[in-house]
Amino acid sequence: MLRPVDRVGFEVRAGEILGLVGESGAGKSMCGSAIIGLIDRPGRISGGEIALDGERIDNLPEDRLRRIRGKRIAMVFQDPLTSLNPLMTVGQQLIQTIRTHLPVSSGEARDRAIALLEEVGIPAAATRIDAYPHQFSGGMRQRVVISLALAAEPELIIADEPTTALDVSVQAQIMALLKKLCRERGTAVILITHDMGVIAESTDRVAVLYAGRIAEIGPTRNVLSTPSHPYTKGLMASTPSTTGTMHALSQIPGSMPNLRAIPKGCAFNPRCEKAFSVCFKDIPILEPVDGSEVACWLYDPAVNPETKEISGVSE
Amino acid sequence: MTGETPLISARQLGAVFDVSKPWLNRMLALEAKQYLTAVDMVDIDIPKGKTFALVGESGSGKSTIGRMIVGLQKPTSGQVLIDGEDFFAISSEKKKMAMRRRIQMIFQSPYASLNPRWRVRHIIGEPIRAFDLLPASEVDGRVAELLDQVGLAKSDGEKFPHEFSGGQRQRIAIARALASNPEFIVCDEPTSALDVSVQSQVLNLMKSLQRELGLTYLFISHDLSVIRYMADEIGVLYLGRLVEVADRDTLFDKPRHPYTRMLMDAAPHIDAFGRTAEIVKGEIPDPINKPSGCSFHPRCTLTEEICRRDRPEVREFGTEKARVACHLCAD
């Protein structure tokens, strides 16, 4: 049995953007899929709970989950071309989504669809509504996907690498749009990305994932400018920047462990300079450290800093 | 640029692709032939031992330039000079081969660029055999040396590419590129497929190899932060044209072209909490029907009449000799 996500817990408030950041294989997309109930068999949620507005949703039967999915929780995927139907016009897809979730006539749905396209910044929305996805550019397509996500006025949007396939100038446009929608509509957003820059500029709080667990979670400014977990520290020190003074990039040795061979104890221990005895035995849990929560034995009050032996880490 | 001859120079390099529909379709629809100018009059000089970086968004022509410089694609116009010699003008196959040995390339995806059926030592030994650099008995020893140079173990030579992570595969690709003792390596987005912690390992490795072996790099990336870390001189491409060329510090301290400034503002900053980048109008236009005059004018905030009408020539600015193609740039 593989465990791509392990005892991950977080909250998102209305009007807040929570970032899930991590490298490939960290389990960030799996967290998003779990919330919206899109885990493919044989995968399953083996423990824990997911609650939307206080109501538990992870144990709902499929037909009730379906009424939540797309209506109360919407998802934006990385590649807008694969999440749009190439055989239907953008308008047909929007109208279908609107009418599935809201009791409106097709005329009303169309008006609403045009208003949505205008809201996400598509010029000449009244005529563009009858165009097919391939007739839009990459950035415009992602706007269409966002308008689809907004169609039923969801309380939560899960955006999984929404700008990874886009050029920087378009990425800036899409992130500005997501932020504006979140603030104006009070929608909660879970933003999944590997890009620390996007996290810094767009999120209120951030959870750093490593090998399926949260290594560190807290207010974004806190976590990124004064990271506590050795992994977060390493990640920040190895991220090149376009601003500030130039310094040599430090590097974390090795790479993210394979799911089939997650090390015993703290999963980060083979790559951690500071690893000591207990790190190889037991899994650390999240403890409050400087306004964030950190899962690292270095910050455990029960661990005596005197007696810990710094182990020679071999790769 | 100093008086010495640069190791690599591109002179008025151009690439035009015929993107017309088939003949019969054109006749029936009465359409003219269509051409896409992917690279437009590009001049690049790379001194020995330095890194020149090309940055641009998708469709800017950066990979096409890389391919033309390594000789994978014949330029439609202009020349590529390697140590003063035009690669495409060399007629003798033997001399061509000798030239090819000096130039290597590292590709973006280490998943697609390594033969999955070959053992790593076979992959890395291939250039040595192809250029007949060493007697067969010495190849394995040289491969072991190369593996060590890129931070892999000798025993890794017996494995297949699928047994490695992305970062390790890129190390294998680097070892293969080094196998022919090249002087110049074109690196086309070498770390875009890698995670940040692994990216920094590969970037640092490339830097230290450059110092050790005196390598010259053409480094292609869309990521300004990576470019800043690696480059000595930077060229900013927009729709096939170099809109600005300057040394690294000049470009980052004083970007002159409006497009360069836009690119720098739009790139997410890891220390700019809650910042919203200045919104840029529109997206990269259709390269087949480029805007008139300056290609950037429909998205530029400064546009004046002349920008719509005339193509801006490259002019030099400041003591740093930044080369900028903008009508309105006045230092």
Asked whether residue A274 is assigned to any structural domain, the reply reads no
CB contact under 8 A, B200 and A172: no
CA distance, residue A181 to nearest chain B CA (Å) = 13
* pLDDT average, residue stretch B129-133: 94
Tell me the chain B residues in contact with residue A248 when contact means C-beta distances shorter than 8 Å.
204
Give B191→chain A minimum CA distance, Å.
12
A 70-99: CB under 8 A from B: none
Question: For residue A260, is it within any domain?
Answer: no
CA dihedral A134, A138, A141, A142 (to 10 degrees): 150
The span from the CA of A297 to the CA of A257, in Å, is: 19
Number of structural domains found in chain A = 1
| Residue of B43, B108, B50 lying closest to B77 (CA atoms) | B43
**What's the CA gap between B2 and A310, in Å, rounded?**
52
In-domain check, residue A120: yes
Q: Do A169 and B228 touch (CB under 8 A)?
A: no
| Nearest chain B Cα distance for residue A56, angstroms | 32
pLDDT score for A116: 93
CB burial string B76-87: b at 16+ within 10 A, e below: bebbbbbeeeeb
Q: Which residue of A has its CA nearest to B261?
A: A169
Q: Is A2 exposed, middle or buried (0-12, 13-18, 19+ CB in 10 A)?
A: exposed
Q: What is the pLDDT of residue A304?
A: 63
Residue B69: its pLDDT value, please?
A: 94
Find chain A residues with C-beta within 8 A of B203's C-beta: 240, 249
Q: Is residue A85 part of a domain?
A: yes
Yes or no: say if B291 and B275 are a contact pair by the CB < 8 Å rule: no
A301, part of any domain: no
Whether pLDDT at A247 is above 70: yes
Q: What is the CATH number of the domain that holds A58?
A: 3.40.50.300
Domain that includes residue A59, residue range = 17-228
**Contact residues on chain A for B196, CB-CB shorter than 8 A:** 23, 194, 196, 235, 238-239
**Does the pLDDT at position A300 exceed 70?**
yes
Q: Judge whether A256 lies within some domain.
A: no
Averaging pLDDT over each range in A25-29, B246-250, B277-281, which range is the top one? B246-250
Q: Does A249 reside within a domain?
A: no
The answer to whether the CB of B255 falls within 8 A of the CB of B261 is yes
The answer to whether residue A185 is domain-embedded is yes
Q: How far is A222 from chain B (nearest CA, A)?
A: 10
Give pLDDT tens digits for B10-25.
Answer: 999 999 999 888 888 8
Would you call A253 an interface residue with chain B, using a CB distance cutoff of 8 Å? yes
For A251-280, the pLDDT digits (tens) are: 898 888 888 889 999 999 999 999 998 999
* Averaged pLDDT for residues B135-144: 95
Biggest distance spanned by C-alpha atoms of chain A = 73
Smallest Cβ–Cβ distance between B196 and the set A224, A238, A253 belongs to A238
Q: Which residues of A touch B201 (CB under 8 A)?
A: 251-253
Identify the closest residue of chain A to B278 by CA–CA distance.
A172
State ipTM: 0.85
Q: What is the pLDDT of residues A210-232, one digit of tens each?
A: 999 999 999 999 999 999 999 99
